[in-house]
Amino acid sequence: MDLFKIFSISGSGMAAQRSRMSVVAGNLANTETTRSPDGGPYRRRDVIFQAVPAEGEFSERLADLSDRPNDVQGVEVVGIKQSIRPPRKIFDPAHPDANPEGYVSLPDINPIEEMVDMLSAARSYEANLSAYNTTKSLIRKILDIGRNP
């Protein structure tokens, strides 16, 4: 049991799910945001997961994944993509960001969808945590090989 490798696999799973939860939290916080730094309403964000080789050395992480399809792989957030869905349009002429026709562009974020995503991320996180704890007790058991009865 390669200690570094096995913990990095479960650790990467936990880290990736945490990123995902962060992004979902950001979406939930910005359901009504009409002004974003790039102009226009906030756009829903999503994480992009990718399987990466779980070896410890940096040089091996650069190797082409397709050459080693059966390698044990961890996961990594390789980017955050913004939704290309068109914004919701609400008729509200009194709103400071209303366009000349009286419509406000709001982010196309469905809170229920986001909550389901959050629950799924939490569940995956816990599964990885459980695997991590199982690994810990297995390692203690291995160390017991050397212990006198």
Task: Summarize as ranges the residues that interact with another protein (CB under 8 A).
Answer: 1-6, 9-10, 12-13, 16-17, 20, 48-51, 54, 56, 68, 70-75, 120-121, 123-124, 127-128, 130-131, 134-135, 137-139, 141-149
Cα dihedral 119/112/48/72 (nearest 10): 30
Length of the chain equals 149
Cβ proximity to another protein: between 7 and 103 the closer is 7
Separation of alpha carbons 134 and 82, rounded Å: 36
Q: How far is the CB of 98 from another protein (least distance, A)?
A: 34
Q: Would strands 103-106 and 73-82 be described as parallel, antiparallel, or unpaired?
A: unpaired
- The 8-class DSSP code of residue 87 comes to P
Cβ proximity to another protein: between 30 and 128 the closer is 128
Q: How far is the CB of 21 from another protein (least distance, A)?
A: 12
Q: Would strands 45-53 and 73-82 be described as parallel, antiparallel, or unpaired?
A: antiparallel
Separation of alpha carbons 129 and 139, rounded Å: 15
Cβ proximity to another protein: between 35 and 123 the closer is 123
Q: How far is the CB of 11 from another protein (least distance, A)?
A: 8
Cβ proximity to another protein: between 6 and 109 the closer is 6
Cβ proximity to another protein: between 2 and 92 the closer is 2
Q: How far is the CB of 115 from another protein (least distance, A)?
A: 16
- The gap between the terminal CA atoms of the chain, to the nearest Å, is 23
